[in-house]
Chain A
Amino acid sequence: MKAPARPLFLERRGYRSRRIMDASRLLPVLGFLLFMVPLVRQPDGNGPTAGYLVYLFSVWFVLIVIAAILSRRLRRATGGAPEERP
């Protein structure tokens, strides 16, 4: 389906909401990369678990906070009912 009616430049608000959608799409990718960090840097055996524990829980918590902010803004940007083409 062609959409010739789509404007070339969106107004500021529309632009913002698009970027918020992008952000929420990218968030799981970011989370996955951060969760896989322990793979890249193999522990050297000197009690690494405690450090990773703190690291993973921190990343996890930050992800939750970002997701909460994004979902709140997303809901405001789309006026309650998310209407958007994927």
Chain B
Amino acid sequence: MIPFNILVAVCVVYVAGLFLVAFVAERRAANGRSSWLRSPLVYTLSLSVYCTAWTFYGAVGYAARSGLEFLTIYLGPTLVLVGWWWALRKLVRIGKTQRITSVADLISSRYGKSNTLGVIVTLLAVVGTTPYIALQLQSVTLSFSVFAESDTLGWAPMDLNATSLWVAAGLALFTVLFGTRNLDANEQHHGVVTAIAVEAVVKLVALLAVGIFVVWGVAGGVEGMMDRIASSPLAQTRFAGGRWAGLTFLSAAAVLTLPRMFQVLVVENADERHLATASWAFPLYLFLMSLFVVPIAVVGLASQPAGANPDLFVLTVPLSLGQEGLATLAFLGGFSSATSMVIVAAIALSTMVSNHIVMPLWLSWQSAGATVSGDVRRVVLGARRVSIGGVLVLGYLYYRLTGGSEALAAIGLISFAGVAQVLPALLGGIFWRGATKRGAVAGLVTGFAIWAYALFLPSFGAGGVMSAALLADGPWGIDWLRPQGLFGFAGMDPLIHAMFWSLLLNTFFFFAVSLSGFPSPLERLQGAQFVNVFEHSSGAHGWVHGAAEAEDLLMMSQRILGPEKAQGLFQREAVAQGKVGYLPDTTPAFLERLERELAGSVGAATSHAMVGQIVGRSSVSVEDLMAVADETAQMMEYSSQLEAKSEELSRTARQLREANEKLTELSVQKDAFLSQISHELRTPMTSIRAFSEILMDGRTLSEAEFSRYSSIIHEEAIRLTRLLDDLLDLSVLENGQVSLNRQPGNLRDLIDRAVAATGSLDGAGRLKINRARAAEDLALLTDTDRLSQVFINIIANAQKYCNAAEPELRIRARRTGQGIVVDFIDNGSGIPKKSQSIIFEKFSRLSDRNAAGGAGLGLAICKEIMQNLGGDIAYLPGQGGAAFRVRLPMTEAQAA
């Protein structure tokens, strides 16, 4: 007997081998050495996911129960494959040109990229496939139990559930590892496909080995086998005509619509020509798979005890005849069948779930929409991984809930009938331009509902989901609504009954609603592209060849790259191909290079779409669109950055212009001042020279004259000194070299001193001083001499420049939160607005109308002093005259 441990070890080694195969295949594909990976042989073998554990174990059981009927499951696919020129060729071409990722994607894309349809088909596929995955888990578990029963060491059946759990977990791991490695543009998984091909060989070899052993080892050759068949109870089974035709049709429909079959037939197809090979090679594979089913069933029925499960004859027959090695091989074959189906189904379903349910939800949750960047791919992959886990968990739960009691074939056919509901929408979509989205929705929903009501829910048995009364008498006793006898069609085979009504009404509503409605523009466009796929597109693989296209490509490239660069690129390529001129053959390699070149200018997705438009693959997938949106978002962001930059630049330019204007004005002022100051210096100098000359030859001068002339010289010298003092003072203040002599003082005293110094005390001068002495009683800690210098300057200015008939200066002081504010407001005409900004500049003098003295340095000095004191002085517009506000900070103002 084979110990259980060895069996587990064999399984583990086998799975490790699969991992290795998938890994090596992925590596080779990544390195571009995938020639044999993409051969027709691998493609054909990968189609063998059609043959699941149901086929491997169940077909024998099916044959033991119902005779030849099991063959229908293979005859249907044979007809579809042999008739590839009709439908499969078109499906594969559409799949390539429209970059279809799943059967749900096909339906959704055909009917105006409607996500509603995508969701419906996805749900249908999930509901239809979950029992099937449960079936695979069950078969693996059952096959383990066969070995456990015959194990002399004894193996607790408790472990069976654990086994199925481990199998499900292992499959999830494998699928996540190799099924969601990358977001390939065309969703191809080289590693998985290669592993599936290996599994296909294993299960074929295993079944053939058991068959050969049974025919030549047990029955003694073909003739002996034929005798045994003729005399076995299997030969007496009735031939049910309805089921024969119905199941052939059903399996033919299923091979087109099963998610996993669509995945390997259309999505994983690397080259359309592989289909030509598969059109006969896959029927041959099916032929070989079913060749020995009847012999094994006959021998099993004859040799096994009456109650033995015929589903397990493939294992129990060799085991009971002592062929343990053969039994182990058969076990591995069954294991392969189960695992390959689960892996591909999980990938197909996860693609659907992530593309049609998770991504739309995610995109609608992202309020930012198209501005999402970068992490979209991560979200898709994450969604796929979670979906794979979810699908397997669902399958496991279904298995645990139903307890694995049903015959294997029953679940398989129910699943077939479920996914076959897609058929009218699928075929109608690719052959009839008039098919509309509403028609497809109506048909699918009707078919799905009837299938669930008449077949799926009753399959849980009376008292399961539906009560026994409901099954027997219909809802509310309405006889013609009985789930298994709709419209009075009682007594039919339940499967054929459900299939008939669901597909009939499905098709009816599909056509009726399509005929009565009017499709949207996008639907009509997609319809035309699907139905006339051979006119709108061409190409057995990837990009196609054509000289006219090369010219178009050149024209387009010139627009993007510039004429010289584009022509250079094309010419180099033409020379490399050994051609003269600018138009190389549009080989896939060249197109890829061109696409990359263009991508450098316009981004990858746009470039692909542009090349695609010319070469014929005009449609873009969701991922392409998202990439385009992504790039657009980036471009928008970039352009808004540019906008901000240019705004900043224009602001800077404006500031520069202002500064320049100020500089120009200052320069003009400076020139004016220089002439002014030379005048100022020259006037006293002239009089000093003139009077000193008079004094020099002045023997005739009287004493009085002498005294007067020398005092003029003295005054002029003082004036010169004052001017030079001012200049010196300003330069010291500006360089911050001034040393402040802080001391306590009172504002009122300071103003008193300033008023006295300007000779305006008590209305003595021309200027009348208007004060609010009470408010001026504020204590200060500051350089009082400097501050009074400021006050004196302001008051003196008012004396000089106030042009009112009765000049008056108001002085108002107050304490504010920040410190002390003193306003000096006269009642003159004030300072014109355009001059307000320059009065504090050096050498500025608004007019030479009044030559009363200063050289335009007073206010500049005031400003420097106030800044050194930590406060400031500003012109206060809108006071009815010239107004200056002196502010002292808090630190300079002591609390009174």
Contacts and interface: CB of A to CB of B under 8 A. Distances in A.
B539 interface: yes
Contact of B239 (A35, A43, A68): A43
Interface residues of B, number: 46
Contacts of B237: 49
Contacts of B500: none
B234 interface: yes
Interface in B254-276: 272-273, 276
A67 B280 contact: yes
A47 interface: yes
Residue in A48, A56, A67 whose Cβ sees the most chain B Cβ within 10 Å: A67
Given A52-B68, A75-B276, A85-B534, A24 B239 contact: no
B234 A85 contact: no
B291 interface: yes
Given A67-B82, A82-B540, A84-B534, A47 B230 contact: yes
Given A38-B239, A39-B245, A49-B229, A28 B283 contact: no
B421 interface: no
A43 B86 CA distance: 33
A21 to B, nearest CB: 6
Contacts of A61: 287
B63 to A, nearest CB: 10
Interface in B405-435: none
B89 A60 contact: no
A49 B298 CA distance: 12
A26 to B, nearest CB: 9
A60 B276 contact: no
B212 interface: no
A42 B79 contact: no
A82 B272 contact: yes
Contacts of B83: 24-25, 27-29, 31
B85 interface: yes
A79 to B, nearest CB: 10
Contact of A57 (B230, B235, B241, B287): B287
Interface in B276-301: 276-277, 279-281, 283-284, 287, 291, 294
Given A39-B244, A50-B230, 13 more contacts: A25-B85, A27-B83, A28-B80, A31-B75, A31-B78, A35-B79, A36-B248, A38-B239, A47-B231, A64-B287, A71-B84, A80-B273, A82-B276
A77 B68 CA distance: 38
Contacts of A49: 67-68, 229-230, 234-237, 294
Interface in A34-86: 35-36, 38-39, 42-43, 45, 47-50, 52-54, 56-57, 60-61, 63-65, 67-68, 71-72, 74-75, 80-86
B287 A28 contact: no
A61 B244 CA distance: 19
Contacts of B280: 64-65, 67-68, 71
Contacts of A5: none
Interface of B: 67-68, 71, 75, 78-86, 89-90, 226, 229-231, 234-237, 239, 241, 244-245, 248, 272-273, 276-277, 279-281, 283-284, 287, 291, 294, 534-535, 538-540, 544
A56 B75 CA distance: 9
Contacts of A10: none
Contacts of A53: 68, 229, 294
B82 A81 contact: no
A28 B284 CA distance: 15
Contacts of B284: 64
Given A43-B239, A49-B229, A86 B234 contact: no
Contacts of A29: 83
B78 A60 contact: yes
A15 interface: no
A40 B530 CA distance: 38
Nearest to A27: B82
Contacts of B78: 31, 60, 63-64
Contacts, number: 123
B235 A50 contact: yes
Contact residues of B: prevailing secondary structure: helix
B225 to A, nearest CB: 9
Given A28-B86, A64-B284, A81 B279 contact: no
Given A49-B229, A71-B279, A31 B67 contact: no
Contacts of B86: 25, 28
B544 to A, nearest CB: 8
B235 A21 contact: no
Contacts of A52: 68, 239
A12 B609 CA distance: 40
Contact of B291 (A1, A57, A63, A80): A57
A9 interface: no
B272 A31 contact: no
A76 B534 CA distance: 19
B273 A81 contact: yes
Contacts of B85: 21, 24-25, 74
B97 to A, nearest CB: 14
A83 B82 contact: no
A67 B68 CA distance: 24
22 contacts: A21-B85, A24-B85, A25-B83, A27-B83, A28-B83, A28-B86, A29-B83, A31-B79, A31-B82, A31-B83, A35-B248, A49-B236, A50-B235, A54-B226, A56-B75, A60-B78, A67-B81, A71-B280, A72-B276, A80-B540, A82-B273, A82-B540
Contact of B79 (A21, A28, A45, A48): A28
B89 A48 contact: no
A85 B535 contact: yes
Contacts of A27: 82-83
Contacts of B75: 31, 35, 56, 60
B540 A81 contact: yes
A63 B71 CA distance: 15
A45 B238 CA distance: 8
A40 to B, nearest CB: 9
Nearest to B239: A43
A71 B40 CA distance: 13
A36 B79 CA distance: 12
B222 to A, nearest CB: 10
